[in-house]
Structure 1
């Protein structure tokens, strides 16, 4: 079976071989009329370019890697959607990898992505000690940190001000009269959870209360709904029981809400509950969840834009650290209607 090649496409479309190449690789350099004519010819002739040959020629593929902590968490699903949309606009595909909060799996995925010659990598790191990522940068692989601020001025990052998010949560609960607040969180080796706790501390201190008396941290083994449900027993065993629970993410909060309901403890009548992320389902729960909204889609989209700019314009690219501000979304779970 004959495979159509670029020379034949160029002859049929009445353009040069270089124009066909530009339509495939740099469509912004070609006029709309010519680009449409070449694309129509490609479709008519059934041409499929040889990705392996291009890979051998330029040393990388039209793909980027995205390494996240937990693909089952809706927060990362929406972030990945933003990354995919931004990549698709520039002719790239996204390879999604799930580190499962494991440094070992994270390192393995980074190695595999490098072996596959991806053009660059977006990563939500397990912790701040991702040495393999540093090695990748030394080998000229472009990397952008997601949901984490880069301490390196020569590396791009896109994140959210989680300290401010923690402050928003703390102030809201204090304004409602709560003076003892449980904070159910994932591992504090994750900067996000540590920053959110610091933000609550700051809000409590600024309100004139003692953070050590007001805040009761309850660490979960991980940060999914099952882990949240598992911490309810510890919460109920506390002396001088807190009247409010702030969860480090909505996934934890869903597990907490479900377990409280199973034990016939009402939200918000018996205990107020506040989450973090504002995943889509949080507004559809039996008791709609008050939460701190992160711009999940925008995080993925902005990070991919930065990564592709670095890939395409290496010489002129300026490294940036973009920080979004979260916002408080008030619903019924904290007793406000």
Structure 2
């Protein structure tokens, strides 16, 4: 009869000579438990056939072991790669990720944040649409642990991880300028702070070469693949005056890919007729018909850092808050850019 009785956490704790809370922490890979103790408890768990219940563990520690992840656009593989870094890190620590997308809508962002709160998640990872997001104010007021990705909020007390976007925009424009290009079509995002910073970097590089943004063709708001296609078509078919730009600068890869689709349709050769550069270095960038020159962001690392630090905050292990991390971008040269011939 005893053989039919399910093994409990009490059995593991008794066998290991430790408390139930120590067993729970060991099985959750808590840094408060030594590796030797954790290994011994896992061996006893396996030998006794104990399968921990996340519900029971959550009740005992007043946690659900769930994290809400709120990204702007999960159809953009930049965010997919960030989410993979988050998922990998959370899974190692015994947490489950609930993933959703705002579609760049502030209203949807606050609605989904409230949904996560009502479902009792232990913390939230968020790429806010706006640096002064109402969702961030709500999270701070509620006292729930949260960490911002891909943005630097105005509030100096908020934890965040981002890339040095001004530097990235500067590197993109400088690459084309050093190839001899002087006439540009710039596809920018007005809505997103990181993309506005990239535009500032573009302005800086142009200034160093004696040029001004006011002398260039600029279009926006460009955030999606369809934006890139539509804005490029509109410019080249309705707004272009004089000679054609020799290069296109975009503030993310999916916008660049949308622009390239228009060029492919119209028989405009890349890079022979026009060079184009993106930003993010998404996985698709190197696989399209003309592999895209771009600015690399450490997307997986961004997700890892945010998830790791959020877990530490949830479990009371974080010290010296706020934690703010600025990651470095770098140029990836592929086949979509080339040196401009003097007669072009």
TM-score in same-fold range (> 0.5): yes
8 Å contact 1:310–1:317 — kept in the other structure? no
Deviation at 1:44, TM superposition (A): 4.9
Aligned pairs (5 A) from 1:215-294:
215-220=216-221, 223-237=223-237, 238-240=240-242, 241-294=244-297
Normalised TM-score (structure 1):
0.90
8 Å contact 1:149–1:159 — kept in the other structure? yes
8 Å contact 1:268–1:335 — kept in the other structure? yes
Unmatched runs of 5 consecutive residues or more in structure 1: none
Aligned to 1:102: 105
Deviations 1:181-200 (Å, cap 9, x if unpaired)?
111133x1211221111111
Aligned to 1:201: 203
Cα gap change, 1:9 to 1:122, in 2 (>3 Å): same
Normalised TM-score (structure 2):
0.88
SS in 2 for 1:276: coil
CA RMSD in angstroms comes to: 2.3
Does residue 7 of the first structure (1) align with residue 10 of the second (2)? yes
Aligned to 2:191: 189
8 Å contact 2:27–2:38 — kept in the other structure? no
Within 2, Cα distance between the matches of 1:331 and 1:253?
Answer: 14
Cα gap change, 1:102 to 1:18, in 2 (>3 Å): closer
Unmatched runs of 5 consecutive residues or more in structure 2: 340-344
Deviations 1:284-332 (Å, cap 9, x if unpaired)?
2221111011111111111222222222236744212211121111111
Deviations 1:20-76 (Å, cap 9, x if unpaired)?
233234544445454334324434555343433444444332222211111111111
Aligned to 2:82: 79
Aligned to 2:132: 129
Deviation at 1:272, TM superposition (A): 0.7
Within 1, Cα distance between the matches of 2:299 and 2:62?
Answer: 32
Name the count of aligned residue pairs: 334
Does residue 319 of the first structure (1) align with residue 308 of the second (2)? no
Within 2, Cα distance between the matches of 1:275 and 1:104?
Answer: 29
Deviations 1:272-292 (Å, cap 9, x if unpaired)?
111001112211222111101
SS in 2 for 1:332: coil
